[in-house]
Chain A
Amino acid sequence: MKTRQLTVYRGPCAILSDLNLDIPQNKWTSVIGPNGAGKSSLLQAMAGLLKWSGSITVDEINLTSFARKDLAKKIAWLDQGSSNQEEFDDSLSVYDTVMLGRIPHQGWLHLPSKPDHIMVEQALQQTDAWHLRQRPFLQLSGGERQRVLLARLIAVDSEILLLDEPLANLDPPHQADFLKWQGNLLTQGKTLVTVLHEIHFALRADFVVMLKDGKLHFQGPSQDPRTHQALVALFDGRVRLEKLGNDWIALPN
């Protein structure tokens, strides 16, 4: 996925301007930056939720030339810790919630087919939420919900997955599992783009994009020392990076 002179608007104001990004295919890319840098806006623009100018291309095909339904099958988007409305006592069951991810694949009556059921089961198994399938979605805890929403995202079976803070509410074991799930998805040939505040997880990605004040700060492979220098500069030198085993962790200065 490539963007050229991408400017993203939220209402009348430009949130991001003049972005030229090269997001490698079948790799995991992390978008990081301080609060309000426009990370979520970037993902929303890619998902077709915000107005943008310039160009976003997938396999050299401009995003605007996709039909709505084809775009939905190509790119799936996970909302940032969505503010869940709790006004209804009874909500969809977990299984039906994940089935919503199959909507782009269903006909006009939206009746689930056999492959839909298989996909939903796989997605729920993958995020360790299969045992929750009968429960009403809104009765789950935050972390359980997040896993169900991840399953919903996986159920779309799209080539590109955009995840806005997927680790929110997950407990440490499931955060660790998340890395495993990411690995699974990569072996299935998916392209992942995540917005992460957890620097040590972000540096596990293959590629890092740094945003600051609506501009591109730096983009590069995560193991490159120049990336690490840029990262320290990104946070005004308020964090430092330390190597621990094979991983890099960010500590406050």
Chain B
Amino acid sequence: MQKNYFLGKLSGLLILSAVLVLLGTLLGSIGASWNMPGSDQTVLFDIRLPRSLGAYLAGALLGLAGGIAQSLFRNPLADPYLLGSASGALLGVGSILCFAYLGNSWLDIIGLNGGAFLGALIGVLASLLLAGGYRSSLRLLLSGVVISVILGAANSLFTFIRPDLFQSIQSFMLGNTTLLSWSGVAVMAIALVICLLITLIISPVLDALSLGENTARTLGLPLDQLRLVLIGILALATGCAVAQTGLVAFVGLAAPHLVRKLSGGRQRVQILFSCLGGGILLLSSDLIARTLFAPIEIPVGVVTAVLGGLYLLALLRRTSFGAHS
């Protein structure tokens, strides 16, 4: 009985995703049209399709990371940018922009995407180092906050020295789906498949954590190692998404909450649905961002914040969620 419900919900979310990708491909500044003349095929397949798929994948990665973060830290306010990954990515982009005039070939090879990815990983590593390991969730969270502040300060210094970079950095901060390419889509697709598979396999550890850390240990789970793997996936998924689309706000925080009612508590389902929910949220925000004031686009991060925030607020008011305290 439960299984059928699960399959129904899953296919519902998948169909919604497919419809959104289709819409994303058809809608554009030229207007929706079914019979494209030959030259517009390029627009369709080289600009709109990768953009739609990319936005969906980035959202899915952020949703996955958010789902992991919330379950791992047992905290509904946790999000993928928590462990210093966001400020790290921002600093990576900032420093690459800042030093680009040096003409160093290394900077060219790394590029902005690589810079954001490396920055995110370095941010998480720094948080881990500062926390002296990954065994204490609270210490890890706190050191993530500290690292965010320090890296954020360094980033402010960059924009202070080079005010001309402010606009580029700001656009990265708001999130940006216009520059997605097929190569970016491929990278994110591979990352998503790997991260999702590993997470789904080891997700029972997240279930067991609901009984408390000690009880999970007595169930024979190698908790420390699995926690490290999950933090690694969190960093990888966030890094990949952020590198391609910038710091899209709120998707990682909202997506797990949006699907929580559907998932019925099991982490394996919750993580999978968070993933789909994140994709749906980011892609539909992208659709709104580019059609609302067409032909002018507003940054997608603004729409995710408004859309996700409103929906979450409605959810909060409708359910007893958060009424315990």
**Would A101 and B74 count as touching, CB distance under 8 A?**
no
B contact residues around A185 at 8 Å (CB): none
B contact residues around A136 at 8 Å (CB): 265
Q: Which residue on chain A has the smallest CB distance to residue B217?
A: A49
Q: Is there a chain B Cβ closer than 8 Å to A59's Cβ? A: no
Query: Residue B218 contacts which of A77, A97, A137 (CB distance < 8 angstroms)?
Result: A77
Given A79-B211, A88-B260, A90-B265, residue A104 in contact with residue B75 (CB < 8 A): no
Q: CA A171 – CA B153 in complex, angstroms? A: 56
Q: Is there a chain A Cβ closer than 8 Å to B168's Cβ? A: no
Q: Which residue on chain A has the smallest CB distance to residue B214?
A: A49
Q: Is there a chain A Cβ closer than 8 Å to B171's Cβ? A: no
Q: How big is chain B's contact interface, by range?
A: 20 to 34
Q: How big is chain A's contact interface, by range?
A: 35 or more
Interface of B, helix, strand, loop or mixed by DSSP: loop
Which residues 243-298 in B have Cβ within 8 Å of A in the complex? 260-261, 263-266
**Would A49 and B201 count as touching, CB distance under 8 A?**
no
Q: CA A96 – CA B211 in complex, angstroms? A: 12
User: Closest Cβ of chain B: how far from A125's Cβ, in Å?
Assistant: 20
User: Closest Cβ of chain A: how far from B199's Cβ, in Å?
Assistant: 13
Interface contacts (Cβ under 8 Å), in number, total 87
Fill in one digit per residue for B207-221: 1 if any A CB lies within 8 Å of its CB, else 0.
Answer: 110111011011111
**Would B212 and A92 count as touching, CB distance under 8 A?**
no
Q: Is there a chain B Cβ closer than 8 Å to A192's Cβ? A: no
Fill in one digit per residue for A69-92: 1 if any B CB lies within 8 Å of its CB, else 0.
Answer: 111110111110011011111111
**Would A48 and B75 count as touching, CB distance under 8 A?**
no
**Would A82 and B219 count as touching, CB distance under 8 A?**
no
Q: Which residue on chain A has the smallest CB distance to residue B200?
A: A109
A contact residues around B264 at 8 Å (CB): 90, 93
Fill in one digit per residue for A82-116: 1 if any B CB lies within 8 Å of its CB, else 0.
Answer: 11011111111100110011011010111000000
User: Among the interface residues A71, A87, A106, which one has the most CB atoms of the partner chain B within 10 A?
Assistant: A87
Apart from A71-B220, A88-B260, A96-B266, what 14 extra A-B contacts exist at CB < 8 Å? A47-B214, A68-B222, A79-B215, A82-B212, A87-B76, A89-B319, A89-B322, A90-B265, A92-B210, A93-B264, A101-B219, A103-B208, A103-B219, A156-B219
Q: What are some 26 contacts across the A-B interface (CB < 8 A)?
A: A47-B214, A47-B218, A48-B218, A49-B214, A71-B220, A75-B218, A76-B218, A77-B215, A77-B218, A78-B215, A79-B211, A82-B215, A85-B74, A86-B324, A87-B75, A88-B76, A89-B260, A89-B319, A89-B320, A96-B265, A100-B208, A101-B219, A103-B221, A104-B219, A106-B204, A156-B219
